[in-house]
Amino acid sequence: MGTTKRRSWKTTDDIPDLVGTVAVVTGANSGLGFVTARELARKGATVVMACRNAERGEAARTRVAASLPPNLSDVAVLPLDLADLASVRDFADAVGERFDGLDILVNNAGVMALPLRRTADGFEMQMGTNHLGHFALSALLAPLLLTRPGARVVTVASDAHYLGRPDPADLRFRHGRYRKWRAYGASKSANLMFAAELARRARQSGVDLVSVAAHPGYVDTNLQSAGPRMSGNTRAERAMALANRLIAASPDTGALPQLYAATAPDVENGAFYGPRFSMFGPIAHAPRAPWVRDVVKNRMLWTASEEATGIRWAPPLGG
């Protein structure tokens, strides 16, 4: 990708016409997911807003639809709880019943720095939601993605991936002392490792599928306050709220890297995009920790994720 082209992509006005495309955005009822769904819809995409809370999802859909002209109001909400593989399967089935293809999948939803919690399937909540839920969802939607040449899978990661690395032999976090920030870092590393391995498999098999990752920098969303709130740490919750007000970017700004990854014509398969100066700046290639660039480790995580979820990717991306 040429640097000049990347610098020229600055605002949502640079998103190309998306009429005739279908997009799924997870965690679309608020924050980055809401902005992403709204902007894709504004450019003409048919958008499925995947939301855990049906009431909040419908309220968000109403807000998106109200911002669109009548001929561009094709926005739907479907329930999706990434912390429950049964819900992931139901969601994928529902999308398959409605559409014969999928052009854009934005794996945006996530949780951050939670005290130890378990998903419905017994995974540690951060790894289960941020990585394993999206890994399973992407696998189940892959047949729809492969019907559309150039389809994209965008996985939202974080600079915080440097805080931890996943152990393929212990994705349930059964061993050792639990540290919530290390677990969050491990889940974000897993996001990057998945995105890279999917890109490698697409290239190797000759499949016209683009897998990229993106991160928003530091953005003012409800993600930062969820962990302190669940821990009952009101001081930390207030500190996070203050930091958000003082230094965080808006969701509109934070969503630009993932919108770029989802729509720009010059995106590189397997790349990782974010603000040039980590928390702010124009969109650029973001640095990655050594372990997320390790092809062997990426393959190991892929295999372990298939075994953990019981969901295996079909050929040509699987196997």
Range in 139-143, 276-280, 285-289, 293-297 with the lowest mean pLDDT:
276-280
Whole-prediction pTM: 0.90
pLDDT above 90 for 9: no
Q: Which CATH class is domain 3-308?
A: alpha beta
More confident residue, 319 or 233: 319
Token digits of residue 273: 């995009």
Residues carrying an active site annotation: 184
CA 137 – CA 115 distance, rounded (Å): 25
Q: Which among 179, 140, 150, 183 has a CA at the least distance from the CA of 165?
A: 183
Q: Which residues are within 8 A (CB) of 204 and not within 5 positions of it... i.e. 6 or more apart?
A: none
Give percent of the chain above pLDDT 70: 87
More confident residue, 232 or 304: 304
Instruction: Return the domain boundaries, the chain.
Output: 3-308
pLDDT above 60 for 123: yes
- For residue 214, count other CB atoms closer than 10 A to its CB: 29
CA 220 – CA 218 distance, rounded (Å): 7
The pLDDT of residue 282: 87
- Going by pLDDT thresholds of 50, 70 and 90, the confidence category of residue 5 is very low
Cα radius of gyration rounded to whole Å, the chain: 18
The pLDDT of residue 222: 57
* Inter-helix orientation angle 31-42/256-263, to 10°: 40
Q: Helix, strand, coil: what percent of the chain each, to 5?
A: 50, 15, 35
Instruction: Pick from 2-16, 212-226, 278-292 the range whose average pLDDT is largest.
Output: 278-292
CA 147 – CA 159 distance, rounded (Å): 33
Q: Which amino acid is at 242?
A: L
Averaged pLDDT for residues 287-305: 97
- Going by pLDDT thresholds of 50, 70 and 90, the confidence category of residue 174 is confident
Give percent of the chain above pLDDT 90: 79
